[in-house]
A = this chain, B = another copy of it.
Amino acid sequence: MHSFSELVVKFEDWFAANLPFPNAPSTLYDPCRYLLKEGGKRVRPVLCLMGNELFGEINADAWYAASGIELFHNFTLIHDDIMDKAPLRRGNPTIHAKYGMTAGILCGDVMSIYANEQVAKVKNALPQVLHLFNKTAIEVCEGQQLDMDYELRNEVSMAEYIHMITLKTSVLLACSLKMGALTGGSLGDNADKLYEFGKNMGIAFQLQDDYLDAFGDSAKTGKVVGGDIMANKKTFLHIHAQLHATTAQRAAIKYLVGGNYADKVQNMLAVFKEIGTDKACREEVARYSDLAFAALEEVAMPQKRKDPLYQLAASLLQREK
């Protein structure tokens, strides 16, 4: 059994040696290589490898599935960055900023096809693997669409928000684990429980991200505190506060949303605390974390084999195992 960080190193090596892009046309493939060399945390492919190793030694299928997932994830980043007009990704210019929008669209397209080609090399349970992968890819697109739709709306319900982050973020984590399990020969309940584990872990992680953006320690997160508040993003915190605010608090939120005041973040945080939104968010993170750990508990494998997954979840969700 390997830990998350051990598998990140192994995946980096395999991926660098097995990147499927040819050299020409360089106008198409240079941008692809540019993004992939910048790395990223490799959470998804490593989850796939971990899901695979739970049921035996990591096999060839798992490497193909893991690299397909990583290529798919990077393709979505390229196109999301165009849609969001983002200038930077991982501290470097985004592909469309560096190579132009046309290059961004087409190199995203071709990367998504290479993702399919990697997944198509899987031998175990190929139809199930493909169906899961395609279903998840569709959900990720739907999540991105809902995210953009919600930006234009005045009101978003909590159920809608959880649905959106589930599609946009969590299902790909869940899919990664389950593809590892399916290619590892686990076709029944265990694969589904792993999926539940990944999905709830993803939701908890996203809600924690919302929390840390507002209440985190910028020295630890590396982000400016209150970025979501400055951008008036409809996060868990914003939606919860709107739902539970008194008339006066609602007026305060409306005033703060309406301008870019120097003390906007500070005052919004004060309102959130008055309402108890910070506590509610921590509780929701804990609730989804509990659901995740309960699902992992039900995976019928020896505890020792599951240890790396427990440790990863505990570290991602910043809590004791």
A: which residues have CB within 8 A of B? Answer: 25, 27-28, 79, 82-83, 102, 105-106, 108-110, 112-114, 116-117, 120, 126-127, 130-131, 134-135, 137-138, 141-142, 144-146, 148-149
Contacts and interface: CB of A to CB of B under 8 A. Distances in A.
Given A117-B134, A120-B127, A130-B130, 14 more contacts: A25-B142, A79-B109, A83-B106, A105-B105, A106-B141, A106-B144, A110-B142, A114-B134, A114-B138, A116-B130, A117-B130, A117-B131, A117-B135, A126-B126
Contacts of A79: 105-106, 109
A137 B110 CA distance: 8
A28 B135 CA distance: 15
Contacts of A146: 25
A25 B110 contact: no
Copies of the chain in the assembly: 2
15 contacts: A27-B148, A83-B105, A106-B141, A109-B109, A109-B112, A110-B142, A113-B134, A113-B138, A114-B134, A114-B138, A116-B116, A120-B127, A120-B130, A120-B134, A126-B127
A117 B132 CA distance: 10
A148 B104 CA distance: 13
Q: Could you say which of A105, A108, A148 has the most chain B C-beta atoms within 10 Å of its C-beta? A: A105
Contacts of A28: 141-142, 145
